Amino acid sequence: MDKLVIEGGRRLSGTVTISGAKNACLPILAATLLSDDRSVIRNIPALRDMSTMLKILKNFGVRAQQEGSAVTVEPHGYKKYIAPYEQVSTMRASVCVLGPLLAKQRRAEVSFPGGCVIGPRPIDLHIKGLKALGAKIRVERGYILADGRNLKGGNVYLGGHFGSSVLATANVMMAATLAKGETVIENAACEPEVVDLTHFLIKMGARIKGVATHRLVIEGVKKLHGAEHSVIPDRIEAGTYILAAAATKGDITLKDVIPDHMVALIDKLTEAGLEMKKIPGGIRVRYVRKLRPMDITTLPYPGFPTDMQAQFMSLMAVTDGISVITEKIYPERFIHISELNRMGADILLEGASAIVKGVKNLSGAPVMASDLRASAALVLAGLVAKGRTDVQRIYHLDRGYEKIEEKLLKLGAKVWREKDK
């Protein structure tokens, strides 16, 4: 198993190109199952999660091949509808094949999904939404068994305890594209990744109104065709490099980003004192003055993203003053606190809030990554810490950050990969 080794204390500067959005690629690849025709999806990053999704597609009898950043999917004639545990268990987003299988094959057997350990993430909204479209669903042996022979349009409300669900919105929307009649999804998620999926479905011939709003109206069609599409940039990867610039007092230009997708993060960091300027096709980030501590609360889009909470905490850990970080999406998503404290941070957990007292310096230490975004937070901490930091279990990082050590090296970091003993 690999680990990432970082010699901290170096100021980052230079240019980094942001990859395609992982959380947009996965449901879009799943959506190719809705057609018999060839589709080409571009700007696909080389990530472990992409490899997993391609394996799942191939398991159904679909031809799927990646060349560079383009994936060609040819689903013609596929008949299988079972997504097995050994594939689905490693990645939560694999559950998004449920809607397309139900719509196209009229049946699906999908194992309960796995992924990062960040607290309970039930799929009750997926099941509720698909049942509202006439699907018969039961759970047996750890599998979701779905019968869609009577799939039809319906009214669906997707509000959950912590807001709307991105993957549930994707699943219900994809199923509705081939359901008979009209479907109305209320309280739909409107994250950029959902919007990108909607644009791809429309290219395939889907009839969808209300794009980028909390109310989607889908008129079912008899057939969808293949399409070509380029995935949006990854706003979470971009945000991570922005925070790396802030933490190391650096100067980084990010290419291939959409600043409008990061309004909450940009607003908070600008308020903290970080200089951020939009440039054609990107953004330049410069540390020009001492940053102020900030309080944030994670919320559904366009609020502050839960996927940036851990990385933001790393920055606040070395920002003088007291910050309060409240997690409203996944209240148990704080496993990284103990690892940051091992490096000298002063963070106290109080319920769903972390009280962060900024310290002057962190010190390098062996740390253990618990999930994808916690991994990124530990990398950021390692970049500013004095001495050597060993980030173990970086297979999490490989799920969501393309060529992270190469990109950091180009920015001036001292970082390399080693086999963990």
Beta bridge partners of 380: none
| Last residue in a domain, options 199, 230, 261 | 230
Structure token digits, residue 304: 């502050």
For residues 242 and 387, state if they share a domain: yes
Tell me the CA distances in angstroms from 336 to 192, 328, 390, one per residue in order: 26, 17, 14
Per DSSP, the residues of 346-364 read EEEEETTEEEEE--S--B-
Contact 193, 24 (CB under 8 A): yes
Contact 354, 313 (CB under 8 A): yes
Peptide bond into 302 cis (omega under 30): yes
Q: Which is nearest to 341 in space by CA: 374, 317, 310?
A: 317
For residues 98 and 11, state if they share a domain: no
CB environment 51-74: b (16+ within 10 A), e (fewer): ebbbebbbbbebebeeeebebbbb
Structure token digits, residue 4: 């990432």
Structure token digits, residue 390: 């060993």
Four-CA torsion 359, 364, 368, 372, nearest 10 degrees: 70
| Last residue in a domain, options 204, 230, 256 | 230
For residues 225 and 240, state if they share a domain: no
3-class SS of residue 207: strand
- The CATH number of residue 351's host domain is 3.65.10.10
For residues 244 and 336, state if they share a domain: yes
* Distance of alpha carbon 288 from alpha carbon 63, whole angstroms: 51
Tell me the CA distances in angstroms from 413 to 239, 382, 389, one per residue in order: 17, 10, 13
For residues 192 and 238, state if they share a domain: no
Compute and round to an integer the Cα radius of gyration of the chain: 21
**Domain tally for the chain?**
2
For residues 154 and 250, state if they share a domain: no
Active site residues per annotation: 116
Burial class (CB in 10 A: 0-12, 13-18, 19+), 284: middle
Q: Which is nearest to 375 in space by CA: 18, 116, 91?
A: 116
| Last residue in a domain, options 230, 258, 278 | 230
Structure token digits, residue 368: 């253990």
* Distance of alpha carbon 4 from alpha carbon 395, whole angstroms: 10
What DSSP designation does 273 have?
T
Contact 49, 26 (CB under 8 A): yes
For each of the chain's 421 residues, which pLDDT tens digit applies? 899 999 999 999 999 999 999 999 999 999 999 999 999 999 999 999 999 999 999 999 999 999 999 999 999 999 999 998 888 877 877 899 999 999 999 999 998 875 444 343 468 899 999 999 999 999 898 899 999 999 999 999 998 776 788 999 999 999 999 999 999 999 999 999 999 999 999 999 999 999 999 999 999 999 999 999 999 999 999 999 999 999 999 999 999 999 999 999 999 999 999 999 999 989 999 999 999 999 999 999 999 999 999 999 999 999 999 999 999 998 889 999 999 999 999 999 999 999 999 999 999 999 999 899 999 999 999 999 999 999 999 998 999 999 999 999 999 999 999 987 7
For residues 225 and 247, state if they share a domain: no
pLDDT at 118: 39
Domain hosting 246: range is 2-16+234-419
Q: Which is nearest to 80 in space by CA: 103, 53, 107?
A: 107
For residues 374 and 404, state if they share a domain: yes
For residues 333 and 252, state if they share a domain: yes
For residues 314 and 210, state if they share a domain: no
For residues 82 and 226, state if they share a domain: yes
For residues 182 and 53, state if they share a domain: yes
